Structures are given as C-alpha cells and as structure tokens.
Amino acid sequence: MAEQPTATIAPEGVPTSAPRTGDAAGTYEPWRIVLGELDERMGVRVLEQSVERVVATMPVAGNRQSLGLLHGGAMLALGEAVGSWAALIHASTRGMVCVGVDANATHHRSVREGMVTAVATPIRLGGTITSHEVVISDEDGNRLSTFRITNLLRPAK
C-alpha cells in the first residue's frame, strides 16, 4: 500500500501552508490531504490531489447497509471528504482555510461489491466561495452518486 501524504497541522488543528521562499506575491504551497478517522475506518485511499482534481477510492466491503448495498451515508461521507479536500487545497494556495456552507447529493444507483471512485472537480474556484462536483462511480464507470459541495474561504489564523 502506498503511504498517504501528510500536512502540517497547527496546534489549533488548522492546516498550515508555508509561503514559498522569496515569493513577494504571497503564493502558498498547496495543503496535502490527511485522512480523518472516519476516512480511515471506511478504507478511503487518495489517488490524486491538486487544485483541479482530487480522486479517492473506497471499498464497498465494510460500507454496506442492511440490504447488502453500499450505504448511501457512506457515499455522502466520501463525497463530503473529497469535495472538502479539493476546496481546502484551493484555499491553501491563497493562505486560507475553508468551511462548508452547503452539501447535497443525488444517488443514481448502488452497488453490492467492489471499489468505488470519487472524483472532485471545481465548478467555481472563487476568492470567497468555492464549489465542487464530486462524481462517485463503480468499477465499470457507472455513476452512482453526484455530490455538490460549497465552501466559504476564510483567513487562516
């Protein structure tokens, strides 16, 4: 298994990004994704991370509901995580952090086994508000869920 990337976390729990040396414009290094406890329990693995795209996978096994289908709440948690990471990467390049202000999803179908993939792409990368679409698909490329998340950018403290 590949080692997960890490970020520097300030004592207050705020992700930090250091200014690039000699950059008078105040450009910042992008934040690197750190899995939370729920992400680890769900078996989430990050494959790609950039301002333009965040990709992560999650196994169906261990994330099923009582009828044997992938739990809708597991898809929501995956969508929120991947969309929030994408927003935080964008915010960090401006020396900011972000907080969620809206999240919604439409489940199109479910799956009983295998691995699902979540891909977050920006709808809008603003200086105050950022919105992302997260598409969750099965191994055959069938869309399982469409998740939309909006985050408010705030100054890092």
Domain boundaries, the chain: 28-155
Q: What is the pLDDT of residue 156?
A: 85
**With contact defined as beta carbons under 8 Å apart, do 15 and 154 qualify?**
no
In CATH, what class is 28-155?
A: alpha beta
40 is catalytic: no
Q: Which of 3, 48, 80, 133 is catalytic?
A: 80
pTM of the model: 0.83
Q: What is the pLDDT of residue 136?
A: 99
**With contact defined as beta carbons under 8 Å apart, do 156 and 113 qualify?**
no
d(CA 58, CA 74): 9
- For every one of its 157 residues, what pLDDT tens digit does the chain have, with 9 covering 90 and above? 444 333 333 334 444 444 333 344 556 778 889 999 999 999 999 999 999 999 999 999 999 999 999 999 999 999 999 999 999 999 999 999 999 999 999 999 999 999 999 999 999 999 999 999 999 999 999 999 999 999 999 998 7
